[in-house]
Structure formats: structure tokens, C-alpha cells
Structure 1
Amino acid sequence: MKFKLRDIATSSTTVVFFIVGLSGVMLYFKIFDSQVKELHEILGLAFVAAAVLHVFVNWKAMKNYFKKKTFISTSVIVLAISALFISQTFNQGQNPKGLVLKSVINAPINTSLQVLNIDYDSALKKLENRNYKVAKEETIMAIAKANSISPFKVIAIITSK
């Protein structure tokens, strides 16, 4: 069986489109969203690659299509709607999740542990069991830097069971 590049480009674009579309709907309605998020992101990149390949192998036909008024009108409408959504984010300020996370990792460890509802001695024991150094008044960020690990790794360790 001999595969043509055009067939591969079209098939992969179609299949990945359906999976990305379905996973996007699942994310929107929060159906298995934590499991689907990474799949959606990675296949989203694969979709871009497949679409670029599809345009490349069908370039002659695409050039004519790009000149049609329908394509131009649709492109203008989609770009305008996209610009509207993007422009609304400019006045929102800092991401609240990022602000909370930044505050937790830069607060004194005792304060962070209270917010996370974790006992100091338990957290210290978990870190020491993995040979990480901890000073009493350090922050999660300082602990991470001192041990050459991510602050998220520190949080993962202290919140583990």
C-alpha cells in the first residue's frame, strides 16, 4: 500500500481536528478536564502541523480559495471576534490564580503551610526524608532555590500523602 503525502495531510488534519474539537468541548463543559487538558494542548500543536502540511500539499488549490470573497469575509469576521476577546483581557490585571500562587510561594513557610492546611512538622519531615534542606523562616521559593528544584515540586512534596 502506497501512501501519498496529500492523503496523509488530509487524513491527519481531519482526525486531529475531530479529537481537538471533542476535547475542546469536554474542556468547556468541564468533563474530565484535568485528564483532557494535556491531550488537547498537545494535539492542538499536532493540528497546527497537520493543517500547515495540508495547506502546503494543496497549495495550488488553496491559492485560488484564499482569493474568494467568502474566505476573505470569514477571515475578517473571525479575526475581529478574536481581537475582541483578546482585547478584553488587557484590562483584567494580573491572573488571580497566579497572584495567589506567587503569594503562597513567597510567603514565610509557616504562613504558606497554614493556607495549605498542612502541619509544619509534617511538611518538614517530608522534605527532610528526601534530603532537602529547610530553614525555619524560609519561603517555599527559597527552599526550592536552595535545593535546585521547582517551587511546585516543593508544594507537591509537602502536600503528598
Structure 2
Amino acid sequence: MSSLLSRYATPLTTGLFLVSLVSGIALFFHLGTAAFHGMHEWLSMVLVAPFLLHVWKNWRPFLAYFKRLPMALALGLSLAAGLAFAWPSLTGNAGASANPTVAMVSIIAAGTPTEVAPLLEKTDAEVVAALKEGGFTAADAATPLSEIATASGQNTMALMATLAAMKAK
């Protein structure tokens, strides 16, 4: 390995890990989510390259860890923790552990403009008019919002953005 790669593998791993650590903690506590989400995802992906360089640079000492019980325990516990978090989504039993924002969007999207209008402090006619103005041509007071979006050739999240803008007025 060139001395340049050897010299920067560990410092880059450390620096990118710290970025991932700080952004991950901020995301966990829902602080600056818009600022940290993309940063966390992308720079965590960039972290893979210096991590692999670091492992390559330290290959022999790294292999020595596999001869001892702590590495097997750490890897086993890490795998078990990862599976515990992923299992509900992998098996389709997400239920209460699903993202509550997504769950609420689904609940609201199943409602009609007449049912959702009171949440927006508007009349059903105002909701239908705003949806039509927003390009949801299939809007009517008795059709579920998700069906309005689909029939109008748009997605539900675009419809939700239109409703949110209406509430902000």
C-alpha cells in the first residue's frame, strides 16, 4: 500500500466516524434532522472506503482478533441487535415500531376531503378547491385522498404537501 493511503486510512476513518457519530446522535434525538439526515447517510457510505483501507493496513493484527472470544461475542451481539431492529420490518409485523409519521400519512390519506377538512380548519369545498388548484384534478369531497392522488397521476406525498401548505395559510 502506498504511504499516502497508509498515512490517511486511519485519520479518515476517525474523522468520518466522528461525523457519523455526531449526526447519528442528532438524528436519534431529532435535532436538526434536515441538516443531518443526508450528511449521515452519504458520509457513512464514504466511511466504507477508509474503513477498508484501515483494515487492509492493519490486516495481521485484525486477524488476530478472530482467534479470541471477544471478537466472536461482539460480532454475535452486533448481529443479534441488528436483527432485533430489522425483524419487524423484514417479517411485515412492524406495527407499533413503524415510523409514526408514515402511519399517520396513511391514516389521513385514507380519509376524504370532508373528513380531513376539520383538521385543516377549512370546509370540504375549500379542501377540494385547493387540491384542484394543486393539480389534483380528480378531487371531490367523497373520494379518499390516496385515490384522488392516484387518479390525478400524482403521489400521496405531493397531495399531503398541498394540504400542509393549505394549513399554513
TM-score (norm 1): 0.72
> Any conservation in 2 of the 1:127–1:157 contact (CA below 8 Å)?
yes
User: Does the Cα contact within 8 Å between 2:26 and 2:33 map onto a contact in 1?
Assistant: yes
Separation in 2, partners of 1:38, 1:116 = 30
Cα separation, partners in 2 of 1:119 and 1:57, compared to 1, 3 Å: farther
Give how far 1:121 is off: 3.8
CA distance in 2, matches of 1:72, 1:151: 46
| Equivalent residue number for residue 85 of structure 2 | 86
Q: How does 1:131-146 map to 2 (within 5 A)?
A: 131-136=135-140, 137-146=142-151
- Alignment map for 1:1-161 (pairs within 5 Å): 4-56=4-56, 58-80=58-80, 82=81, 85-86=84-85, 93-94=95-96, 95=98, 97=100, 98-136=102-140, 137-160=142-165, 161=169
Q: CA RMSD in A?
A: 3.3
Cα distance change of structure 1 residues 145 and 50 upon mapping to structure 2, 3 Å threshold = farther
One-letter code aligned to 1:93:
G
Instruction: Name stretches of at least 5 consecutive residues in structure 2 with no aligned partner.
Output: none
Q: Measured at CA, do residues 130 and 84 of structure 1 come closer, stay the same or move farther in structure 2, by a change above 3 Å?
A: closer
Retained in 1: the 8 A contact 2:110–2:144?
A: yes
Asked whether the 8 Å contact 2:113–2:128 carries over to 1, the reply is no
Does the 8 A contact of 2:108 with 2:116 survive in 1? Answer: yes
Q: Distance in 2 between matches of 1:84 and 1:142?
A: 35
Indicate conservation of the 8 Å contact 1:108/1:139, yes or no. Answer: yes
Taking only the aligned residue pairs, the percentage that are identical comes to 23
**Offset, 1:116:** 4.3
Q: 1:151 to 1:72 in 2, by over 3 A?
A: same
Report the Cα offset of residue 64 of structure 1: 3.0
Aligned-partner residue type, residue 18 of structure 1: L
Q: What residue identity is the alignment partner of 2:127?
A: A
Q: Deviations over 1:13-67 (max 9, x none)?
A: 2211001101122233333234323322333333345434433454444323333
What is the count of residue pairs matched by the alignment? 159
